[in-house]
């Protein structure tokens, strides 16, 4: 259920509610219950009576995304990102390259690197295994299927098939990994392509890396 806290309809409030029953009569209405109360089995929790002229405020996931997308340009951190150039900066390229070179130098199968964008949940995980590196990604395939398609295309062009390929989280997340037997420079370029072509990184986005021993 979506409402607003301001008269300009710019600051949304979102409540997750569960449909309970439909009540017929002179004035029909739909009964909903707060999701937390429903999950906790609290039958005495207050119910929401939603009348026909209020149904516009009850949105499914797709309509909620559309509603919020209309406000995305006002976000104080991400609001201007869509106006920025899609570009992998030299600084971000150096961040990727330095970590990949370290992984090749250590050659420890227990080591791994994660590279993620600063403000978005986009990233890759890389580890060294049997003379190759394994590049893994967790892709929200239902929300952003174009990312999965682009990632597959990147590796297909390299003649590589997935090492791991399955769905998780009730088929919402695609787990993909590829074993890559190439030089550190070539692996760095592949990672760069993933962020540039699949994740559409902008020139004002920073990459974060974590090297786990």
Per-residue pLDDT tens for 61-70? Answer: 777 877 777 7
Helices (H) and strands (E) in the chain, counts: 5, 11
Q: What is the residue extent of each domain of the chain?
A: 2-74, 90-212
Tokens 């996931």, located at residue: 61
What's the pLDDT score for residue 189? 95
d(CA 116, CA 168): 20
* pTM of structure: 0.69
Q: Which CATH architecture has domain 90-212?
A: 2-Layer Sandwich (3.30)
Angstrom distance (rounded) from CA 17 to CA 72: 23
pLDDT digits (tens, 9 = 90+) for 28-40: 999 998 888 888 8
pLDDT of residue 15: 85
């Amino acid at each position: 259920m979506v409402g607003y806290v301001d008269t300009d309809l710019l600051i949304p409030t979102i409540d997750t509610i569960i449909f309970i029953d439909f009540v017929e009569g002179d004035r029909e209405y739909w009964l909903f219950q707060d999701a937390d109360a429903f999950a906790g089995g609290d039958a005495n929790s207050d119910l929401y009576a939603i009348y026909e002229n209020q149904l516009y405020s009850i949105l499914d996931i797709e309509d909620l995304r559309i509603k919020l997308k209309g406000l995305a340009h006002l976000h104080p951190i991400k609001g201007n990102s869509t106006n920025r150039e899609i570009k992998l900066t030299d600084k971000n390229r150096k961040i990727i390259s330095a970590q990949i070179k370290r992984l090749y130098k250590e050659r420890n199968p227990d080591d791994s690197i994660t590279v993620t964008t600063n403000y978005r949940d986009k990233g890759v995980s890389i580890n060294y295994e049997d003379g190759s590196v394994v590049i893994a990604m967790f892709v929200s395939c239902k929300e952003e299927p174009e990312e999965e398609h682009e990632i597959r295309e990147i590796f297909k062009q390299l003649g590589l098939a997935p090492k791991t390929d399955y769905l998780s989280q009730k088929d919402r997340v695609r787990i993909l990994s590829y074993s890559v037997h190439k030089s550190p420079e070539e692996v760095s370029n592949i990672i760069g392509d993933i962020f540039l072509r699949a994740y559409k990184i902008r020139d004002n986005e920073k990459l974060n890396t974590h090297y786990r021993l």
